Amino acid sequence: MESKTKKRKSGGSKRRVALVGLMLTGVASVWYTHRTAISRGEWMSAFAGETGTHGTSSDTSGGVHRVVAEGKMVSRPGAEVTVGAEIAGRIVRVLVDEKSVVRKGDLIAEIDVNEQVAAAAEARARIAEVDADIRYFEPKVARAEKMAPSGAVSVIELEQWRRDLEAARARRKAAEATVRRLEINVAKGQIRAPLDGTVIARFAQPGQMVEPLGKVVTIADLSQARLEAEVNEFDADGLAVGAMATATAEGYPGRQWRARVEEIPDVVAGRQLRPQDPGRPSDTGVLLVKLVFLEPVPFKLGQRVDSLIDLSGAKAVVSPAVIPSTAPMPTPPTVATVLPTTTRPATPPTVTNLLPATRPTTKPITIVTLLPATMPSTRPWRPRWLHRRQLRP
């Protein structure tokens, strides 16, 4: 029995040791994850200096505060256009590929418009037919107007011929409008470049069916690219148009490019880029600040670029020597407290004791024990399998 008790104690101690080991393993994993996150975020601190609470870093040597912002390359408004089809149909040919340089008005693709061409020819034929009717009714109406005063032609016949002439002229106008509409649709079958630029994406192929507003190509003027930096909303104080900045990007070690703040929006937007630094918050609002480069850059549209923007104004560093040590401190104003003399009573109020003079005595509580006089002897604990084994013959 003593050996079994020892086994139970050893089993309990082993479980406790295993539980402690699991707890230590969890603490170690949390510590390692935190240390790794900090080490991954140290590249921005090394680049910027001393990082602040919201990503703002200060350069104590130059006395200028800076803010670190992540961004991407974008085009200026109007410098990137996705060209699509205005009518439905089958694409006959596509004359450009990706990286093709185009000029404004160049033919990009053609859509099959044979049906619209045939309909336009039919409308022109109707115009010719209506012209023949007009040539027939005009002299007839002129003769009837000359003969009407003499009574050779009745008024009813004259009005009938005039109505036929006006109806023919109206049919001609309707046919001309139909021809113009079909000619416009035929012209829409030729998709042309709306601006000078480079084809950066192609979505359609020859033989493909397209719907109205279907994408064909995307054209962008690569010379009109700029950096859109996401500056934390808490770092907006100190941003100014014309502030200098420095840009870096992965894949270009040791290289930096000069830039200038060109535009600061008046609206706080949501973060569009996921921060590479896991220590920075991802659910805060940002200002999409636009920066223009002061020198040629090798970046592509959509490429991720990091920037270091100089701050000014309220973020400027103030030296302790600026504040004179002998300047007199303003004394706070003295506030006199005037209390009325009759606010407090002369004598405190009398509190009447409502408790009884003698409290009732509490009777002791009798606890009845329902246990038997003699307790049965407890047998040592044994596992069930041992009992089952003993019952077997």
**Window from 132-146, 277-291, 357-371 with minimum mean pLDDT:** 357-371
Structure tokens, 86: 């205005």
Mean pLDDT of 62-83: 88
Is 194's pLDDT higher than 80?
A: yes
Residue 329: predicted pLDDT:
46
Percent of the chain with pLDDT over 70: 66
What residue ranges define each of the domains in the chain, with the CATH number in brackets? 47-77+222-315 (2.40.30.170), 80-111+189-220 (2.40.50.100), 114-188 (1.10.287)
CA distance 327 to 187: 80
Which is more confidently placed, 388 or 12?
12
Interacting residues of 25 by C-beta distance below 8 A, sequence separation 6+ = none
Write the pLDDT tens digit of every residue in 294-323: 999 999 999 999 999 998 754 444 333 333
Q: What is the pTM of this model?
A: 0.58
Mean pLDDT of 169-198: 94
Contact 217, 85 (CB under 8 A): no
CA distance 343 to 339: 8
Write the pLDDT tens digit of every residue in 7-20: 555 666 777 888 88
Is 43's pLDDT higher than 50?
A: no
Mean pLDDT of 320-334: 42
Strand pairing class (285-293; 197-202): unpaired
- Phi and psi, residue 78, nearest 5°: 90, -5
Give the SS3 label for residue 301. Answer: coil
CA distance 234 to 256: 26
Mean pLDDT of 242-255: 92
Residue 23: predicted pLDDT:
87
Alpha carbon 213 to its chain centroid, in Å, reads: 24
- Alpha-carbon torsion (83, 86, 88, 90), positive or negative: negative
Residue 328: predicted pLDDT:
46
Residue 28: predicted pLDDT:
82
**Window from 64-68, 158-162, 211-215 with minimum mean pLDDT:** 64-68
Write the pLDDT tens digit of every residue in 127-182: 999 999 999 989 888 888 888 888 787 888 888 889 999 999 999 999 999 999 99
Which is more confidently placed, 333 or 164?
164
